């Protein structure tokens, strides 16, 4: 393997890692600002101009708080839980195509860390792995309320993985590929998958809300019923790790939805812009467009959180098993019929 390749990939990984951290950190501020806006108040405005340094202050606070590990807990697993939650939420960004290839000094530099030919399934695998962090943490706390939160998280995540997988199958039938790069390339201009798979997108969106434990599906943490949730016994930085993992997951889910259904880095008139700006600036504009789409989705996540009340647990299960799964299967059947008819014409 040549040195330039390694340096290029390493730099890309570093940049994407930093972007993920920054976006996740500022999502916490954005959430509180949006909550403030929706509830007709100001939101955090003390740290820095307009509260710009609030995430920094929060991070420092988390670091300097006392770390408490309960005496009866399983210490190794108690530490493993939040570490795993944070780790898995970083993994998914490896297969997202962040932009078209850039040309630097005659070299084609891909803006995707790796293009494995099962990229879509890889994302799915990472998502399904994410529940371990919550489950292990909840169990290791040796607290009944934590355990109940963990059990809720596990059953919710398993239930909503099924319609998510089924909606991906319908998308797969429409795109004929599992590679994220090819899916992004197929949606050139405004040829976005959303227009071919509107039902699939809505199912995927609902399942993303459930998989990231966001309202209206934030049953794993519930102050009124479970004291706190799976993280009741956590404090200091480990608690921060769980919270941060939630925001990272939201970022990843938004990136995946933008890539799969909303045309990744594609936008109408991109050929014209690319010709005008050359092979370096053009793809970077595409990346900025992708970021805009991601921010729009993150805003949607927050908007829903401060608008819609949460579900009851039986409603959650009914929605997953009795509505979303049949809908997703119907979506597959309809997609199949339409593809066959178009092929015959």
Partner 1 sequence: MSISLFYFVAFLTIFFALLVIFSKNPVHSVLYLIVTFFTFTLHYIMLNAQFLAIVNFIVYMGAIMVLFLFVLMLLNLNEGSVGSKSNLLKMVGVIAGMCLVITLVGSVKALNASDPLVLQTQDLGLVKNLGKVLFSKFLLPFEISSILLLSAMVGAVLLAKKDIKQG
Q: What residue ranges bind partner 1 (CB under 8 A)?
A: 77, 116-118, 121-122, 124-125, 127-129, 131-132, 135-136, 138-139, 147, 150-151, 154-155, 157-158, 161, 178
C-beta of 132 vs 295, nearer to partner 1:
132
Q: How far is the CB of 110 from partner 1 (least distance, A)?
A: 18
CA distance 303 to 128: 25
Nearest CA-CA partner of 262 in 194, 174, 186:
194
Spatial CB neighbours of 162, under 8 Å, sequence gap ≥ 6:
320, 325, 328
C-beta of 150 vs 248, nearer to partner 1:
150
CA distance 316 to 112: 36
C-beta of 139 vs 242, nearer to partner 1:
139
CB 123 within 8 A of CB 92: yes
φ, ψ for residue 101, nearest 5 deg: -65, 140
CA distance 219 to 138: 14
Give the Cα-Cα-Cα angle 251, 257, 260 (nearest 5 degrees). 135
- End-to-end alpha-carbon separation of the chain, Å? 48
C-beta of 142 vs 215, nearer to partner 1:
142
Task: Look at residue 225 and give its three-state secondary structure.
Answer: helix
- Scanning the structure block, which residue is given the tokens 């899916």? 183
DSSP count for the chain of H helices, then E strands: 13, 2
Q: How far is the CB of 139 from partner 1 (least distance, A)?
A: 5
- Asked if residue 90 has a cis previous peptide bond (ω within 30° of 0), the answer is no
Task: Look at residue 212 and give its three-state secondary structure.
Answer: coil
Q: How far is the CB of 138 from partner 1 (least distance, A)?
A: 8
C-beta of 161 vs 233, nearer to partner 1:
161
- Scanning the structure block, which residue is given the tokens 């009851």? 312
C-beta of 12 vs 153, nearer to partner 1:
153
Spatial CB neighbours of 300, under 8 Å, sequence gap ≥ 6:
none
C-beta of 155 vs 235, nearer to partner 1:
155
- DSSP, res 95: G
C-beta of 39 vs 71, nearer to partner 1:
71
CA distance 193 to 169: 13
């Amino acid at each position: 393997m040549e040195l330039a390749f390694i340096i290029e990939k390493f730099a890309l990984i570093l940049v994407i890692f930093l972007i993920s951290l920054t976006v996740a950190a500022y999502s916490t501020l954005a959430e509180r600002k949006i909550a403030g806006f929706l509830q007709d108040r100001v939101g955090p405005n003390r740290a820095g101009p307009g509260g710009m340094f609030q995430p920094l202050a929060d991070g420092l606070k988390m670091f300097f708080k006392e770390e408490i590990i309960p005496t009866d807990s399983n210490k190794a697993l108690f530490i493993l839980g939040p570490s795993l939650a944070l780790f898995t939420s970083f993994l998914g960004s490896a297969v997202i195509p962040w932009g078209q290839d850039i040309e630097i000094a005659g070299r084609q530099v891909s803006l995707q860390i790796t293009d494995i030919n099962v990229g879509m399934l890889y994302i799915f695998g990472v998502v399904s792995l994410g529940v371990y962090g919550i489950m292990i943490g909840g169990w290791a706390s040796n607290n009944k309320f934590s355990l109940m939160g963990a059990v809720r998280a596990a059953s919710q995540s398993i239930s909503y993985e099924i319609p998510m997988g089924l909606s991906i199958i319908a998308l797969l039938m429409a795109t004929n590929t599992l590679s994220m790069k090819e899916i992004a390339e197929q949606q050139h201009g405004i040829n976005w998958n959303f227009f071919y798979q509107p039902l699939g997108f809505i199912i995927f969106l609902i399942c993303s809300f459930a998989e990231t434990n966001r309202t209206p599906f934030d049953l794993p943490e519930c102050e009124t019923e479970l004291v706190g949730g799976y993280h009741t016994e956590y404090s200091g930085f480990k608690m921060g790790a769980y919270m941060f993992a939630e925001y990272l997951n939201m970022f990843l889910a938004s990136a995946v939805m933008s890539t799969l259904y909303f045309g990744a880095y594609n936008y109408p008139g991109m050929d014209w812009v690319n010709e005008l700006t050359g092979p370096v600036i053009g793809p970077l504009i595409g990346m900025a467009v992708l970021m805009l789409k991601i921010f729009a989705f993150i805003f949607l996540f927050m908007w829903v959180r401060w608008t819609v009340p949460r579900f009851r647990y039986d409603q959650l299960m009914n929605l997953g098993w009795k509505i979303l799964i049949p809908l997703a299967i119907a979506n597959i059947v309809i997609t199949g019929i339409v593809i066959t008819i178009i092929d015959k014409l």
